[in-house]
């Protein structure tokens, strides 16, 4: 026992390796391994006649993905929704995160953190179905608008092509509202953590050098909080790209990437196409991260 202890003390690399081995094995097989297995499937193709998977490397599945205009519509629709949701989450999260991180103290601060996380303690499905009822034609939102005499305005919005639909619960607008609601905590928390790390003296230094509060916000606080904003937006962006439940329960009939993956690997039995579809979000997020890095989002890390 003592000899082993001595050996580990003198060879810290071995010690570290032994400690990390179990979690790395778990992570490597369960997470990365299955992901790679899935991605490899996308290089197989399905035989049209027998409906069986041909286990030979081919790009035919990707060709099928890109050559179908309907598929590209799905990708575009999902991407646009993810961008809109991310921007909306960032705008709503900023003031809340800023207040939590830089002004709230003690109990108020704890209360805010609990309030932000509280919705995440409830089942995801329960929340989605609740939103369907809230957004429905006979739902509370329509009822409120009706009583405020704004029913006409709401109807006008719903008539907007591309956004509206017969009711909020079956429109892209409604889907957007539910997405923003669902992913907002994932934006607030990393943003608040980043804002919390901005030293007060930097904000004071900017003011001391003559910067107005708006200049300080734009030139000092925002660049320093960018890593948090980037982290939060990766969450909201990727969660929207991959989700298949919200588009299923709430929203317009148009398909989203997640729904396609679900359908292709399930009822259609076309695992290669499902795999190819799930590569799309990975590529989009990689592009997004590369862009963010280019713009200097991680310079302050």
Partner 1 sequence: MTRAVDDVSLSVATGEFFSMLGPSGSGKTTCLRLIAGFEAPDSGEVFLEGRNVSSVPPNERDVNTVFQDYALFPHMDVLTNVAYGLRVRGVSAPERTQRAREALAMVKLEGFGERRPGQLSGGQKQRVALARALVNRPRVLLLDEPLGALDLKLREEMQIELKGLQRRLGITFVYVTHDQGEALSMSDRVAVFNQGRIEQLAPPRELYDRPGTPFVARFVGSSNVIEGEFASRLTGNAQAFAVRAEQIVALAAGAPLPDAHVEYRGALLDVQFHGATNRWQVQGEGMVIAAEPRGAAAPEAGSQVRIAWPRAAMVLLAAEPRR
- Residue 210 interacts with partner 1 (CB under 8 A): yes or no: yes
CA distance 259 to 73: 13
CA distance 167 to 248: 15
Residues 6+ apart with CB under 8 A from 187: 86, 89, 90, 92, 93, 97, 232, 233, 235, 236
CA distance 300 to 298: 5
- Report the run of H or E that residue 53 belongs to, with start and end: strand 53-54
- Residue 29 interacts with partner 1 (CB under 8 A): yes or no: no
Alpha-helical (H) ranges within the chain are 2-10, 12-26, 34-41, 60-67, 69-102, 106-117, 124-135, 140-147, 151-158, 172-196, 200-208, 213-216, 222-242, 245-249, 257-265, 271-294
Give the nearest distance from C-beta 211 to partner 1 in angstroms: 4
Instruction: Return the residue of 166, 212, 286, 287 that touches partner 1, per CB under 8 A.
Output: 212
Instruction: Return the residue of 104, 211, 245, 279 that touches partner 1, per CB under 8 A.
Output: 211
Torsion, CA 254, CA 257, CA 261, CA 263, rounded to 10: 0
Instruction: Return the residue of 4, 12, 208, 267 that touches partner 1, per CB under 8 A.
Output: 208
Supply angle C-alpha 59, 60, 65, rounded to 5: 100
Give the nearest distance from C-beta 221 to partner 1 in angstroms: 11
- Residue 268 interacts with partner 1 (CB under 8 A): yes or no: no
- Residue 215 interacts with partner 1 (CB under 8 A): yes or no: yes
Instruction: Return the residue of 199, 253, 267, 294 that touches partner 1, per CB under 8 A.
Output: 199
Q: Which is nearer to partner 1, 16 or 295 (CB)?
A: 295
Binding string, 110-149, against partner 1, x = CB under 8 A? ----------------------------------------
Binding string, 148-187, against partner 1, x = CB under 8 A? ----------------------------------------
- Residue 201 interacts with partner 1 (CB under 8 A): yes or no: yes
In the complex, which residues of this chain contact partner 1 (CB under 8 A)?
199, 201-202, 204-213, 215, 219-220, 223-224, 296, 299-300
């Amino acid at each position: 026992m003592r000899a082993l202890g001595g050996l580990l003390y003198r060879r810290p690399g071995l010690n570290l390796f032994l400690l990390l081995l179990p979690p790395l094995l778990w992570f490597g097989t369960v997470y990365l391994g299955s992901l790679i297995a899935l991605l490899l499937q996308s290089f197989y193709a399905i035989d049209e006649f027998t409906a069986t998977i041909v286990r030979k490397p081919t790009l035919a599945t990707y060709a099928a993905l890109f050559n179908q205009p309907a598929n590209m519509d799905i990708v575009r629709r999902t991407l646009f929704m993810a961008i809109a949701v991310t921007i909306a989450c960032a705008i709503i999260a900023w003031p809340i995160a800023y207040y939590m991180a830089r002004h709230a103290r003690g109990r108020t601060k704890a209360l805010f953190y609990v309030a932000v996380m509280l919705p995440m303690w409830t089942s995801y499905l329960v929340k989605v179905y609740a939103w369907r009822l809230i957004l429905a034609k006979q739902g509370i939102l329509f009822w409120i608008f009706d009583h405020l005499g704004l029913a006409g305005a709401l109807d006008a919005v719903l008539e907007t092509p591309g956004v509206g639909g017969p009711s909020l619960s079956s429109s892209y607008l409604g889907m957007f509202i539910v997405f923003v609601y669902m992913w907002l905590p994932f934006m607030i928390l990393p943003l608040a953590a980043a804002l919390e790390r901005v030293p007060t003296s930097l904000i004071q230094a900017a003011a001391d050098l003559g910067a107005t509060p708006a200049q300080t916000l734009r030139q000092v606080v925002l660049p320093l909080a960018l890593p948090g904003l980037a982290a939060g937006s990766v969450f909201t962006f990727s969660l929207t790209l991959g989700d298949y439940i919200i588009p299923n329960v709430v929203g317009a009939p148009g398909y989203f990437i997640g729904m396609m993956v679900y359908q292709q690997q399930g009822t259609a039995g076309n695992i290669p196409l499902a795999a190819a579809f799930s590569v799309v979000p990975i590529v989009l997020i990689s592009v997004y991260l590369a862009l963010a890095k280019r713009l200097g989002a991680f310079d302050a890390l």
